[in-house]
Amino acid sequence: MKIEDEIKQNKKFTSEYHKLAVNIIFTSSWLYRTHAQSLKSFGISPEQFNVLRILRGQHPNCANNQLISERMIDKSSNSSRIVEKLKQKGFVDRKENKNDRRHVDISITKKGLDLLENIDAKSSEMDALKSSVTVKEAQVINDLLDKLRG
């Protein structure tokens, strides 16, 4: 569906660049909602999923809040709060760093790894993309988005 129809716009965009910006923002929001809905049955948010994936990428090494914040997709997310919620659910461990007591070592637990494996096996977050664009089209879109960000 065209962006004009999605947002029920009566007037034309001021330019193709304006239309592009609105389209990217709208599509980002749509993809986020789709992703959040697919994670709901696993009891985690997209931000928590992002932190778990970062920690899985670091595994078996630990991470700290600074590393997590730097790698998060949503830079405005509060990584400390997210880590605490994941700790309460048993998906991560947090320990004082032996070399620097000002830092905290954060690692993914077996339960967290198992959750990600389960999500990977059952998640359909990318089904909407797979049914809409080919692999070649996805490559072109990725290249254009990378170019846009400079």
Contacts of 129 (CB under 8 A, 6+ apart): 31, 138
The count of other CB atoms within 10 Å of the CB of residue 34 is 17
pLDDT digits (tens, 9 = 90+) for 23-41: 999 999 998 998 899 899 9
Domain assignment of residue 19, given as a range: 3-149
Q: What is the pTM of this model?
A: 0.86
pLDDT digits (tens, 9 = 90+) for 80-139: 999 999 999 999 999 988 888 778 999 999 999 999 999 988 765 566 677 788 989 999
- The answer to whether residues 94 and 106 touch, using CB atoms and an 8 Å cutoff, is yes
Angstrom distance (rounded) from CA 105 to CA 94: 6
Task: Report which of residues 148 and 126 the model is more confident about.
Answer: 148
Contacts of 101 (CB under 8 A, 6+ apart): none
Domain count, the chain: 1
**pLDDT at residue 48, as a whole number:** 97
Write the Ramachandran bin of 93: left for phi over 0, alpha for psi from -120 to 50, otherwise beta.
beta
- Nearest Cα residue to 107 out of 90, 119, 127: 90
In CATH, what number is assigned to the domain containing residue 12?
1.10.10.10
What's the gap between Cα 74 and its chain centre? Answer: 7
Angstrom distance (rounded) from CA 36 to CA 47: 9
